[in-house]
Amino acid sequence: MQALRLLFVVTAVPFMRIVEGAQVCGLRTAQGRTFVRNGQDTTNTTEIPWNVIVYDMKVKTGPTQICGGSLIKTDYFISAAHCFYINNKFLRNVTDFSAVVGGLYSAWNATEDTRQHVQLKQIYVHSFTGPLKLFSNDIALVLLSTHVSINVNVLPICLDWGQRLPPLPSGTLGLVAGFGGYRDMQYDVLKYTTLPFLDHHDCEKNTSLNLQMYTTVADKFCVGVNNGSAVGPGDSGGGIAFETEGKWFLRGVVSLGAYNKVENSFFTNVAHHVSWISDIAKEVVVPNLDAKCLRCICEAASGCNTTYGCALGFCGPFYMSRVYWRDGGKPVLPEDDPIRAGAYEDCGRNYTCSAVTVTNYMSKYGQDCNGDGHTNCDDYAMIHFNGGNACYQPMGDTNFSARYELCRADTLSLPPRTYHSLINSSTGMASADTSASVLQCGCSASYVFAAVIVSMWGAARRPHYMHRASILAATSF
């Protein structure tokens, strides 16, 4: 990594009380101390409670601090992509790394009451290609294996999810933390400083020729030097935070700069990647849409055939069109990119990824479609069948509705509807006063039964989710 050094001068802030487990962000929770080059070290982690220490667990001499990060949720942090690569080419195994929150010391075995060790579960990167594209997209979103405990020493930083923060004026000071020093020298104790954001003009004017090329990278911004302080080796992945209305927001991630002198450095602009981060990390909660309901929609769509591929413009067990996927936020598999050809198909064939798409779609279009005064799985099935803008239309006697009814009674444990016969003699469709044995059997048995009667059903109206690609206009990513 091309990197810089970190030395420090900071200002004091008021003490703030944080209730254990409170869902707050971006608060510095204790009074600050002042640091100078080769001076005193911080005595608590409340100055930068969102700081994450990243360790390489495969170093022969033992676990070694290599990068920093910023906690954005109790189970996610943001760092630099290059921290997790071999020679900026190959993404390493997630088990090669571990993390610490609430820590002051870089040593893996440091004894601190505030320290929480946590394993990494998944590393998400966003089309990172290293020096081939001048370290653009040098950002990683890391999912932890468990939620960390929130207290005065461990607290997430705020993220501008809605992209409402104003642009930063050149010279605005931001807060940076790390263990970096000069060349290969690093500090043992966490330090921090304030560094100025530089706009494009000021950056070009004050950046050496060998770093000028990075001023052209769309998702980078420039950070200057303050009283001889700058970021350094070991600080990669750490965040720069700027205060707005009493809260600190993550605006950039340490990416690269000069190795052996103090000068401007370059940070990945988080604002360029918020949509991508949100697709992965921001929870979507849809009332009454749980795993059982998703399963019933899946059963209705295809018998939840997880081996189904893509045909005629529709993919996977939810029989999902490309436009439906776009409306659902374009989720992708880990380490994939929504702009990659085939990303939609790979997501559609994967139950988990397509279920996320359905959840996002229902979050966007969820409503009381059948007019019963509630929004529940019946409505979500109608939305999936008819589309969000026409969900009030009945599903009728279709394969979709028949499979959904079987699952509704079986999996959702809802009262069976009033059925008059299993197969309507006049239409050949399943209308079903299903027997007690059918309603009480397990889901898989129900769908073995359903598969038998599917062949007896006549031609059925193709559900709306099968037609969306031809009806709705495509949207650009």
Q: Which of 75-89, 170-184, 455-469 has the highest mean pLDDT?
A: 75-89
Same-domain status, 299 and 367: yes
Q: Would you state the pLDDT for residue 283?
A: 67
- What's the number of domains the chain is made of? 3
Range of the domain at 340: 291-409
Same-domain status, 295 and 253: no
Tens of pLDDT, residue by residue over 249-262, are 999 999 987 666 77
Supply the DSSP symbol for 280: H
Q: What is the pTM of this model?
A: 0.58
Residue 424, pLDDT above cutoff 50? no
Which CATH number fits the domain that encloses residue 362? 1.10.530.10
The DSSP secondary structure of 59-98, one letter per residue, reads: -TTS-EEEEEEEEEETTEEEE-GGGGEETTTEEPPGGGEE
Residue 474, pLDDT above cutoff 80? no
Same-domain status, 100 and 133: yes
Q: What count of other Cβ atoms lies within 10 Å of the Cβ of residue 470?
A: 9
Task: Answer whether residue 417 is part of any domain.
Answer: no
Q: Is 456 exposed, middle or buried (0-12, 13-18, 19+ CB in 10 A)?
A: exposed
| Planar angle of CA 123, 125, 131, nearest 5 degrees | 130
Tens of pLDDT, residue by residue over 265-283, are 999 999 999 989 988 887 6
Task: Answer whether residue 382 is part of any domain.
Answer: yes
Backbone angles phi, psi at 420, to 5 degrees: -105, -25
Segment 114-123 mean pLDDT: 94
Task: Answer whether residue 463 is part of any domain.
Answer: no
Exposure letters 346-356 (e unless 16+ CB within 10 A, then b): bbbbbbebbbb
Position 31 confidence tier, pLDDT thresholds 50, 70, 90: very low
More confident residue, 477 or 435: 435
Which CATH number fits the domain that encloses residue 109? 2.40.10.10
Task: Answer whether residue 459 is part of any domain.
Answer: no
Same-domain status, 131 and 192: no
The number of angstroms, rounded, from the C-alpha of 304 to the middle of its chain's C-alpha atoms is: 26
**In the predicted model, what is the mean pLDDT of the chain?**
77
Tens of pLDDT, residue by residue over 271-317, are 999 989 988 887 666 788 888 999 999 999 999 999 999 999 999 99
Same-domain status, 354 and 296: yes
Where is the domain boundary, 350, 375, 409? Answer: 409
Tens of pLDDT, residue by residue over 8-20, are 332 233 323 333 3
Residue 102, pLDDT above cutoff 90? yes
Cα 453 from Cα 170, distance rounded (Å) = 69
Residue 467, pLDDT above cutoff 90? no
Task: Answer whether residue 468 is part of any domain.
Answer: no
Residue 349, pLDDT above cutoff 90? yes
Q: Would you state the pLDDT for residue 19?
A: 33
Task: Answer whether residue 452 is part of any domain.
Answer: no
Task: Answer whether residue 449 is part of any domain.
Answer: no
Same-domain status, 310 and 224: no
Cα 166 from Cα 172, distance rounded (Å) = 12
Task: Answer whether residue 251 is part of any domain.
Answer: yes
